[in-house]
């Protein structure tokens, strides 16, 4: 009896796993060939929607959603509606590939994602294989766009590091610079590396470069104290606003007030709930997007985002919003139709991307070359009276 | 002078670890389980204080009281629903995994209610602190309060365990549950009481943690929780003074290694020291030597 | 090895092979979605590492919560090798060599770490394995290794420190890890590795050595009194376990082509995830680990439709499954009810 039960148990488990697999196999028929046939463009987005980086993924997904809604309301792309779906990757490259495959089963033709660099690189291996058009809103590592089917909206990490060093040099902002960066993060250490390389021969000196990790991101007293002891009059923070808000608070309590200089990850610091914006007074950042810019596009976007999600959008949301409009522009340029196969669509858009010139939240003028890098000017802004003001 | 500053920063961080570790060690000592969700109780406490203070326009005292009460209820409920059914299970790992499940559950509930974006926490301690040597050496109010609170809690716990009947019951239950039950001690109630105390400590720890490092997200408690667990083991898990010492040592080592060795490798150094300490004293600094019987 | 055990082992292989055949048929007939196809390789390496951890936790009886550290070592050493020799060695021998290298390094570190770790007991041992896992991750995050015409360059500080030529290739780039590892792992390779793992572990368990290891787990003093070399056997089991975890790492790095030493993959949280597979599959039950790894890895993926409620439901399922499977009262109740049912059935028959 016992033996029978055991064998039965094992057999049952086997059957169960297979049915679990099969249960999800239903969508398989439409999966690989693409071409939704239903007369809509299917756009997918991937980002961390749960886990420690969920704030960024949600921003991307929501930002893209607003653009999709707007386009659909206005009659779609060349009269074709967009279908939109997002998947969670938990900031995990493996899960990101799973998310990509899920979206493929759904019939995705165009990918807005992934949100983060490592995930974006992992997914690009697969989009390359499938020849699917990939536009990452915020994957900033160099390798994110190494394939010709991948493009991005944001600046690349090296680009930001170099631009920051040049900006500090050109505007004589400091003589001694301290850096605090996240040693466990692709984005942060990428910018840090290029910044230090570029700083050679500039009119300032890097006097302290201290790291922290995501496992160790509560206490910044040491890093700040070292910058202070080294006499840094500017502290460069190539990190995200969530950690930066803590650094600003701690610097304030220890009575250290250098100029803080951030990059695009710093955007969003003013909308941290309950954050004392006085602490961010005088913080400079190179960012393509500022939520309180007064142009119609930004005002409209921020208003809609606020209504829908009860938050002020950050740079991630803006990049994703632009990404959808960029896809729209490219489709219109290429005259692509939804019945094209994924690969044909990709080929058409690849060509169109280098010809279009778009205006968006993150730049008044964006163009691309075949490398996938955007050409746009970084804007320097400074925080004054709790608001972003153009620094130039 | 800067060495003193670093040392004080270390003490401040260490005393927060210590308070969290006290909660860990209490529960471990009596229930013999690692409550992996302890760090998330801290996070829950922080969010409660945050919400209540916001609703009452900044009255944090009431916020802390509410948080302590609700965290206590949460702790006792969790024990009753998730941990008690597994008491006496064939493997002690069963309850450990359940605790991990509870930890995920709390994090994801917080994620659904409050969203993933960080919130800035207003310090519950408004005192500026004191400065010495013409402002060269500044000790923040929150640092002093944290250290004081941790010492007070330590003394109170020691008195409670050694001087009260309930405390003695806890000691007895930690020695031998079966024998304690035979002596007329309600073991279930004693363990529930332990959870109540541990969780209320988590709420206090949360208030202090977020006052010192004012950033709040659903994952705020996870890393301090695991560090405090390390601290509790370092001090000898189950020992209340050990948790205090372990927490302080961990905090100071973390800050000093970041300062004088490498900020890149500080995590590795902290854990490396833990390894060395445990090799010299295999049951932690104040841990009791386990006697093995055949 | 007695007959019953042999039969039991054969059932395990049969399940794995049957699963492989069914999946292959489904792929050929086009019945498997891309999502599921993408999950197949991860399934195999999580099953492999779950078996490795079960060897450590279930057979050896020592709780390790840093096993993903060994996986990390296997992943990084093999990915480094594959990247460095991508141009010079053809795929098949390179991939085999990558396996050997990944496994060898993981075993080496398992051995070295085992020396201090296995002197400790219980929770102290667990916390030290956690510490080593975190140390490995943190140190790898500070590694910079590159190759140029002058040979290998190495730094612990930054990529610039290496002083490489402009045309040099930075292979390990600190937190940015290794990108562009060749995508060599596939389901068949994964299944082969899983079968070899099962073969090694099940034979070990059934052998004289395995019985010695389990004797140490059950009562080390009695085992020592009968002349069993406790340290030697503990080291052996721990090293083998680490080596297998390394093999899982090789599969991992050659499946996901970008490799970073971050907490999502190799931190204590990931190690605990594997521990969950082991405990739910049954401590010491090798087949259980494989099945639990498959089901628990698939579960959150299958719940994707629920979006934000996904992980919430996953955690509730986890708690409920633990209570149902392990609570002494429920086990007793189950025995009574199902026992009665069995009794009835036999009576009717």
Please give the Cα distance from A180 to A50 (Å, whole number): 26
- Give chain B's length: 294
Q: Phi first, then psi: give them for residue C197, nearest 5 degrees.
A: -55, -50
Contact B140 A253 (CB under 8 A): yes
On whether residue C222 sits in a domain, the answer given is yes
Model confidence pLDDT, tens digit, residues B87-133:
888 888 888 889 999 999 999 999 999 988 888 888 888 787 787 76
Question: What are B264's strand-pairing partners?
Answer: none
What is the per-residue pLDDT for A60? 94
Superfamily of domain A158-287 in CATH is Response regulator (3.40.50.2300)
Residues of C in contact with A97 (CB under 8 A): 38, 256
Look at residue C105 and tell me whether its pLDDT is greater than 60: yes
Question: Is-same-fold flag (A2-154+298-375; A158-287)?
Answer: yes
**Cβ B192 vs Cβ B79: under 8 Å:** yes
Q: Is A186 exposed, middle or buried (0-12, 13-18, 19+ CB in 10 A)?
A: buried
For the stretch C297-309, pLDDT in tens is 999 898 888 777 8
Kindly state whether A230 is in contact with chain B, defined as any CB-CB distance less than 8 angstroms.
Answer: no
Residue located via tokens 């985002």: A305
Q: Does A295 touch chain C (CB under 8 A)?
A: no
Residue C183 has φ and ψ, to the nearest 5°, of -90, 80
Q: Is residue B40 part of a domain?
A: yes
Residue C67 lies in a domain: yes
* Euclidean distance between CA atoms A85 and C14, whole angstroms: 40
- Determine the pLDDT at residue C5: 84
Q: Is residue C315 part of a domain?
A: no
Number of domains in chain C: 1
As a whole number, mean pLDDT of residues C109-127 equals 89
Q: For residue A152, what are the β-bridge partners? A: A136
Whole-angstrom distance, CA of residue B35 vs CA of residue B64: 22
User: Residue C159 and residue A101: Cβ atoms within 8 Å?
Assistant: no
What is the span of the domain harbouring residue C259?
A: 3-309
Query: Which of A216, A243, A306, A311 to probe by mutation at the B interface, max B CB count within 10 Å?
Result: A216
Each residue's pLDDT tens digit in chain A (392 positions)?
A: 444 444 444 444 544 554 554 444 444 333 334 444 568 999 999 999 888 788 889 999 999 999 999 999 999 999 999 999 999 998 899 999 999 999 999 999 999 989 998 899 999 999 999 999 999 999 988 889 999 999 999 989 888 899 999 999 999 899 999 999 998 888 898 899 889 989 988 899 999 999 998 888 888 989 999 999 899 999 999 998 889 999 999 998 888 999 999 998 888 888 888 888 888 888 998 888 888 788 899 999 999 999 999 888 888 999 999 999 999 999 999 988 898 999 999 999 999 999 999 988 888 889 998 888 998 877 788 888 888 887 76
Tell me, yes or no, whether C12 lies in a domain. yes
Within-domain flag for C347: no
Q: For C16-51, write each residue's pLDDT tens digit.
A: 999 999 999 999 998 889 899 999 999 999 999 999
Rounded to two decimals, the pTM is 0.89
A231 touches chain B (CB under 8 A): no
Residue from C293, B28, B108 nearest A49 by CA: B108
Please give the pLDDT value at position C18. 95
Angle at A336 between CA A330 and CA A340, to 5 degrees: 130
Q: What is the phi/psi pair of residue B220, to 5°? A: -55, -40
Residue B7 domain-assigned?
Answer: no
Are A193 and C159 within 8 A, CB to CB? yes
Partner residues linked to C145 by β-bridges: C154, C172
Q: Which of C252, C302, C223, C285 is nearest to C35 (CA)?
A: C302
3 state SS of A177: strand
pLDDT recorded at residue C232: 93
Average pLDDT over residues C197-203: 95
Contact B43, B74 (CB under 8 A): no
Min Cα–Cα distance to chain C from B92, Å? 10
So what's the pLDDT on residue B294? 52
Q: What is the pLDDT of residues B143-162, one digit of tens each?
A: 899 999 999 999 999 999 99
B264 Cα to chain C: minimum distance (Å): 7
Q: In this complex, is the C-beta atom of C139 within 8 Å of any C-beta atom belonging to chain B?
A: yes
Residue B268: which of C135, C327, C329 has the nearest Cβ?
C135
Q: Which two tokens stand for residue B15?
A: 């005393």
Cross-chain residue pair B118–A225, CB shorter than 8 Å: no
Token pair 């944001």 is at which residue?
A: A154
Per-residue model confidence (pLDDT) at position C126: 87
State the total domains in chain B: 1
What residue spans define the domains of chain A?
2-154+298-375, 158-287
Residue A385 burial (C-beta neighbours within 10 Å; 0-12, 13-18, 19+): exposed
CB contact under 8 A, B213 and A58: no
What pLDDT score was predicted for residue B290?
Answer: 61
The domain of B173 spans: 14-221
Yes or no, beta carbons of B117 and A55 under 8 Å apart: yes
DSSP designation for A41? E
Q: Do B268 and C63 touch (CB under 8 A)?
A: no
Question: For the segment B109-119, what is each residue's pLDDT rounded down to a tens digit?
Answer: 999 999 888 88
Q: Yes or no: say if B67 and B51 are a contact pair by the CB < 8 Å rule.
A: no
On the 0-12 / 13-18 / 19+ scale of CB atoms within 10 A, C85 is middle
pLDDT value of residue A254: 83
Residue spans of chain B under pLDDT 70 = 1, 58, 133-135, 289-294
Q: Which of B263, B264, B266 to mutate to test binding with chain A, by most A CBs within 10 Å of its CB?
A: B263
Tell me the pLDDT of chain C averaged across its residues.
90
Instruction: Note whether residue B255 is domain-resident.
Output: no
Tokens of C134: 């975190």
Q: Do A105 and C42 touch (CB under 8 A)?
A: no
Instruction: Check B2 against A50: CB less than 8 A apart.
Output: no
User: In CATH, what class is A2-154+298-375?
Assistant: alpha beta
- The span from the CA of A169 to the CA of A171, in Å, is 6
């Amino acid at each position: 009896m016992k033996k029978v039960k055991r064998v039965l148990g094992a057999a049952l488990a086997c059957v169960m796993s297979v049915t679990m697999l099969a249960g999800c196999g239903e969508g398989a028929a439409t999966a690989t060939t693409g071409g939704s046939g239903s007369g809509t463009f299917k756009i997918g987005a991937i980002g961390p929607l749960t886990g420690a980086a969920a704030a960024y993924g949600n921003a991307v997904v929501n930002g893209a959603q607003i653009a999709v809604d707007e386009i659909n309301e206005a009659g779609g792309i060349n009269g074709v509606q967009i279908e939109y779906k997002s998947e969670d990757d938990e900031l995990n490259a493996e899960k990101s590939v799973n998310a990509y495959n899920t979206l493929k089963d759904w019939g995705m033709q165009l990918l807005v994602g992934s949100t983060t660099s490592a995930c974006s690189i992992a997914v690009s291996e697969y989009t390359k294989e499938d020849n699917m058009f990939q536009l990452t809103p915020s994957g900033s590592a160099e390798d994110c766009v190494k394939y010709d089917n991948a493009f991005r909206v944001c600046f690349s990490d090296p680009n930001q590091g170099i631009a920051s060093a040049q900006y500090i040099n050109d505007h004589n902002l400091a003589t001694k610079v301290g850096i605090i960066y996240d040693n466990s993060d692709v984005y942060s250490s990428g910018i840090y590396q290029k910044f230090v390389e570029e700083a050679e021969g500039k009119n300032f000196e890097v006097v302290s470069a201290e790291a922290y990790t995501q496992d160790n991101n509560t206490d910044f007293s040491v890093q700040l104290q070292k910058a202070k002891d080294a006499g840094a009059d500017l502290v460069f923070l190539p990190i995200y606003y969530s950690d930066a808000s803590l650094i600003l608070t701690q610097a304030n309590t220890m009575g250290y007030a250098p100029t803080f200089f951030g990059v695009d990850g710093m955007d969003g610091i003013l909308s941290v709930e309950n954050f004392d914006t006085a602490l961010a007074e005088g913080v400079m950042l190179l960012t393509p997007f500022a939520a309180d810019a007064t142009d119609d596009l930004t005002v409209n976007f921020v208003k809609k985002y606020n209504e829908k999600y009860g938050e002020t959008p950050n740079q991630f949301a803006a990049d994703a919003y632009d990404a959808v409009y960029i896809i729209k522009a490219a489709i219109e340029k290429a005259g692509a139709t939804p019945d094209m196969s994924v690969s044909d669509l990709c080929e058409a858009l690849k060509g169109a991307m280098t010809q279009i010139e778009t205006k968006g939240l993150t730049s008044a003028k964006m163009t691309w070359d075949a490398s996938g890098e955007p050409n746009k000017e970084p804007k320097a802004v400074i925080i004054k009276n709790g608001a972003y003001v153009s620094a130039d | 002078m800067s060495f003193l500053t670093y040392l004080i920063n270390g003490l401040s961080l260490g005393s927060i670890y210590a308070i969290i570790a006290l909660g860990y060690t209490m529960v471990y000592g009596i229930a013999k389980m690692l409550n992996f969700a302890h760090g998330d109780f801290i996070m829950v406490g922080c969010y409660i204080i945050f919400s209540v203070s916001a609703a009452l326009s900044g009255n944090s005292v009431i916020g802390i009281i509410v948080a302590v009460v609700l965290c206590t209820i949460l702790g006792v409920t969790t024990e009753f629903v998730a941990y008690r059914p597994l008491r006496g299970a064939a493997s002690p790992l069963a309850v450990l995994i359940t605790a991990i499940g509870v930890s995920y559950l709390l994090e994801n509930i917080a994620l659904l209610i409050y969203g993933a974006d960080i919130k800035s926490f207003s310090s519950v301690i408004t005192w500026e602190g004191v400065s010495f040597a013409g402002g060269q050496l500044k000790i923040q109010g929150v640092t002093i309060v944290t250290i004081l609170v941790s010492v007070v809690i330590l003394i109170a716990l020691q008195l409670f365990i050694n001087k009260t009947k309930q405390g003695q019951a806890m000691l007895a239950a930690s020695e031998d549950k079966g024998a304690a039950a035979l002596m007329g001690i309600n073991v279930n109630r004693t363990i529930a009481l332990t959870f109540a105390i541990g969780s209320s400590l988590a709420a206090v720890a949360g208030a202090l943690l977020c006052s010192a490092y004012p950033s709040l997200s659903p994952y705020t408690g996870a890393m301090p929780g695991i560090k405090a667990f390390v601290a509790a083991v370092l001090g000898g898990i189950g020992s209340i003074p050990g948790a205090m010492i372990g927490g302080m040592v961990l905090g100071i080592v973390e800050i000093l290694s970041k300062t004088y060795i490498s900020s890149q490798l500080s995590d590795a150094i902290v854990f490396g020291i833990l390894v060395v300490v445990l090799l010299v004293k295999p049951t932690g600094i104040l841990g009791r030597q386990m006697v093995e019987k055949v | 090895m007695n007959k019953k055990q042999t039969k039991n082992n054969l059932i395990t292989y049969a399940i794995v092979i049957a699963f492989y055949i069914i999946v292959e048929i489904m792929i050929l007939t086009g019945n498997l979605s891309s999502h599921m196809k993408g999950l197949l390789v991860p399934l195999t390496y999580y099953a492999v590492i779950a078996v490795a951890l079960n060897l450590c936790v279930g057979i050896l009886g020592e709780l390790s919560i840093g096993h993903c550290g060994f996986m990390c070592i296997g992943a990084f050493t093999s990915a480094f090798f594959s990247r460095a020799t991508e141009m010079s060695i053809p795929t098949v021998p390179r991939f085999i060599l990558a396996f050997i290298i990944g496994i060898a390094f993981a075993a080496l570190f398992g051995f070295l770490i085992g020396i201090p770790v296995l002197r400790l007991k219980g929770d102290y041992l667990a916390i030290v394995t956690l510490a080593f896992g975190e140390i490995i991750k943190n140190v790898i995050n500070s590694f910079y290794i590159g190759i140029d015409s002058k040979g290998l360059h190495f730094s612990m500080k930054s990529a610039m420190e290496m002083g490489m030529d402009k045309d040099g290739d930075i292979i390990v780039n600190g937190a940015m890890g290794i990108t562009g590892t060749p995508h060599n792992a596939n389901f068949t390779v994964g299944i082969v590795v899983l079968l070899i793992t099962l073969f090694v572990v099940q034979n070990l368990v059934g052998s004289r050595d395995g019985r010695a290891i389990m004797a140490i787990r059950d009562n080390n003093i009695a085992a020592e009194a009968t002349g069993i070399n406790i340290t030697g056997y503990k080291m052996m089991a721990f090293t083998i376990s680490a080596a297998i975890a390394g093999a899982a790492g090789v599969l991992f790095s050659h499946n996901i082509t970008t490799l970073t030493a971050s907490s999502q993959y190799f931190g204590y949280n990931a190690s605990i995830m594997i521990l969950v597979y082991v405990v739910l599959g049954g401590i010491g039950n090798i087949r259980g680990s494989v099945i639990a790894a498959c089901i628990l890895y698939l579960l959150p993926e299958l719940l994707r439709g629920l979006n934000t409620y996904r992980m919430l439901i996953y955690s509730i399922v986890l708690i409920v499954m633990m209570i149902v499977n392990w609570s002494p009262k429920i086990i007793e109740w189950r025995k009574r009810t199902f026992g009665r049912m069995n009794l009835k059935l036999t009576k009717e028959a």
